[in-house]
Amino acid sequence: MQYRTIGNTTVSAVGLGAMPLSIEGRPDEERAVATVHAALDAGVTLIDTADSYHWHAGERGHNELLVARALARYGGDTSGVLVATKGGRGRPGDGSWTVTGTPAHLKRAAEASRKRLGVEAIGLYQLHKPDPAVPWADSVGALRELLDAGTIRAAGISNVDTARIREAHAILGDGLVSVQNQYSPAVRGSEPELRLSTELGLAFLPWSPLGGIARSSLDGPSGPTSAGTAFHRVAAERGVSPQQIALAWLLTRSPAMIPVPGASRPASIQDSARAAGLELSPAELARLDAVPPS
Q: pLDDT tens digits for 153-208? A: 999 999 999 999 999 999 999 999 999 999 999 999 999 999 999 999 999 999 99
What are the φ and ψ backbone dihedral angles of 17, each rounded to 5 degrees? Answer: -85, 115
* Domain residue ranges of the chain, discontinuous segments joined by +: 9-211+256-263
Q: pLDDT tens digits for 225-236? A: 345 789 999 999
Q: Is the pLDDT of residue 215 over 90?
A: no
Question: How much is the pLDDT for 92?
Answer: 87
Average pLDDT for the chain = 94
Q: Is the pLDDT of residue 220 over 50?
A: no
Say what the pTM is.
0.94
- The CATH number assigned to the domain with range 9-211+256-263 reads 3.20.20.100
Determine which one of 53, 74, 125, 183 is catalytic: 53
In which band, very low, low, confident or very high, does the pLDDT at 211 lie, cut at 50, 70 and 90? Answer: confident
Q: pLDDT tens digits for 52-91? A: 999 999 999 999 999 999 999 999 999 999 999 999 999 9
Residue 53 annotated as catalytic: yes
* 125 closest CA partner among 133, 114, 136, 116: 114
Q: Is the pLDDT of residue 221 over 60?
A: no
